[in-house]
Amino acid sequence: MIKTIFTALVMLLMMGTVSASDALKSQTFIGFEIAGTDLDSNASAGTNISYGIRVGAQNDEWRTTLLYNHYNSSASGIEETINQGSFNLDYFMWTTETNSLHIKPFVGMHVGYMNYEWLENGLAIDESDLFFGGQVGVSLEVIDVVEIDLGYKYSKTNIDNLNNIGSFFLGLNYFY
């Protein structure tokens, strides 16, 4: 697991290296994310909605984002809560421009730290660990200061009772 995380961090650092001239052309943003999240855990309560807040910067090719996500589900007497903080790096593969819309497909990876809590009939689990994964999607610039993301994110962790997390997400970024 340590080798995998180290490899992912090295790849992030290598891919995140942007020349000084490109960094000066970047735009900063703040936004939020909503996702249909499915947990693959030993006793999962199933699919539910997660919410997040994003802060980041992007240029024509790269986007870096700090993301905080919160997931809480209460179903069938099981309560699950996840809090995640992650660093996301996305690469815009190309840009297609129409009259009023810029379409930018992206692929990316993320790494972060999470806390997982599970409670059923007085039995509780509270674990924290690193997680990593990838995302793919499309970014739609609807106006100069607003961009919408649609995509899928897959995360893997070493937490004993939680194998992986899959999320279809909708994000909204405001550039300032």
> Tell me: the pLDDT tens digits for 55-95?
999 999 999 999 999 999 887 788 899 999 999 999 999 99
| Cα distances (angstroms) measured from residue 51 to each of 37, 60, 69, 159 | 10, 27, 5, 21
| Cα distances (angstroms) measured from residue 36 to each of 5, 47, 74 | 26, 7, 15
In a domain, 138, yes or no: yes
Where residue 10 falls among pLDDT bands split at 50, 70, 90?
Answer: low
Residue 7, pLDDT score: 56
Q: Are 166 and 154 in contact (CB under 8 A)?
A: yes
Where residue 18 falls among pLDDT bands split at 50, 70, 90?
Answer: very low
Distance separating alpha carbons of residues 29 and 171, to the nearest angstrom: 12
In a domain, 24, yes or no: no
- Can you give the CATH number for the domain in which 163 is found? 2.40.160.20
In a domain, 109, yes or no: yes
Taking residue 98's Cβ as centre, other Cβ atoms within 10 Å add up to 7
Helix (H, G, I), strand (E, B) or coil at 121: coil
Residue 41, pLDDT score: 78
> pTM (2 decimals)?
0.84
In a domain, 20, yes or no: no
pLDDT beyond 60 at 12 = no
Taking residue 113's Cβ as centre, other Cβ atoms within 10 Å add up to 14
In a domain, 17, yes or no: no
Taking residue 19's Cβ as centre, other Cβ atoms within 10 Å add up to 9
In a domain, 19, yes or no: no
Burial of residue 157 (number of CB atoms within 10 Å: 0-12, 13-18, 19+): buried
In a domain, 28, yes or no: no
Q: Are 93 and 116 in contact (CB under 8 A)?
A: no
pLDDT beyond 90 at 3 = no
Distance separating alpha carbons of residues 170 and 153, to the nearest angstrom: 11
Number of domains in the chain: 1
Of residues 76 and 30, more confidence is placed in 30
Closest by CA to 169, choosing from 154, 157, 46, 40, is: 154
| Cα distances (angstroms) measured from residue 115 to each of 48, 65, 91, 112 | 17, 20, 28, 11
pLDDT beyond 50 at 21 = no
Distance separating alpha carbons of residues 149 and 58, to the nearest angstrom: 13
* Among 15-24, 100-109, 152-161, the least confident range: 15-24
CA angle 165, 167, 172 (to 5 degrees): 140
Could you tell me the residue range of the domain that residue 53 belongs to?
Answer: 2-11+33-175
